[in-house]
Amino acid sequence: MRQLYLIAIYLIMISSLASATTSNKTTFEAGPFIGSIDIGRPCKIAIQEPYDSTDLDGTNNTIYNIYCNDTIFIQLQIYDNGIYSLDPKSIRISLIEEGADKDTILINERKIDDKKGYAASGYIPKKDLKIYRAGYPISTQSACWIGTWKNDKADFLATLNSIHVEERKSRKKA
């Protein structure tokens, strides 16, 4: 009986260790946004000063750039007027602007932060490099863009699977 008891305790301990996961959740704050990601290892966050930009269609927005190590970047945008809706063409254009061959671009719809978004990849022949981009709406007036500069699909997917961004009511710049 004692042996059965010891075996049961041993099995419980083993299953507890096997189900334990290491969290490397990294949080950040930028302007009215609070967010977090977990790429599976510690992430050194750098946040640039926000800046205002005007799109070609005249839409004004404020941009917050956030960098995780030297592989992942996150861009948070607030659009001053109107309702923002995400179009996969904007991700395609982003990849082409970075030098991706348009015939290599793949775009897929996917859930990001429990919202409908798009993830894409493209190959840059001049750099022999595959890059990744994604985007999803945070609200009707803000969006999150995610990307990588290196062939780091693992960090990119970990970011897509773990990112969470909330927009606070106050829209003050920080």
DSSP for 103-127?
Answer: GG-EEEEEEETTEEEEEEEEEEGGG
Give how far Cα 58 sits from Cα of 54, 79, 95, 130, 173, Å. 6, 11, 22, 32, 21
148 vs 104, which has greater pLDDT?
104
Q: Across residues 138-149, what is the average pLDDT? A: 91
- Domain extent listing, the chain: 26-167
Confidence tier at 83 by pLDDT (50, 70, 90): low
Contact between residue 34 and residue 162 where contact means Cβ atoms under 8 Å apart: no
- Looking at the predicted structure, is the pLDDT value of residue 141 above 70? yes
Tens-digit pLDDT profile for residues 131-140: 999 999 999 8
Contact (Cβ atoms closer than 8 angstroms) between residue 118 and residue 134:
yes
Residue 66 has pLDDT above 60, yes or no: yes
The average confidence (pLDDT) of the chain is 85
What pLDDT score does 1 carry? 59
Encode pLDDT of 154-164 as tens digits: 999 999 999 99
Q: At 174, is the pLDDT very low, low, confident or very high (cuts 50, 70, 90)?
A: very low
Mean pLDDT over 63-87 rounds to 88
| Least-confidence region, from 50-59, 67-76, 104-113 | 50-59
Q: Tell me which DSSP letter residue 141 carries.
A: T
**Is pLDDT at 8 greater than 70 in this prediction?**
no
Look at residue 71 in the predicted model and tell me its pLDDT: 87
Please compute the mean of the pLDDT values over residues 79-90 and round it to a whole number: 80
Structure tokens at 27: 């949080």
Give the model's pLDDT for residue 95. 94
Residue 152 pLDDT: 86
pLDDT of residue 15: 43
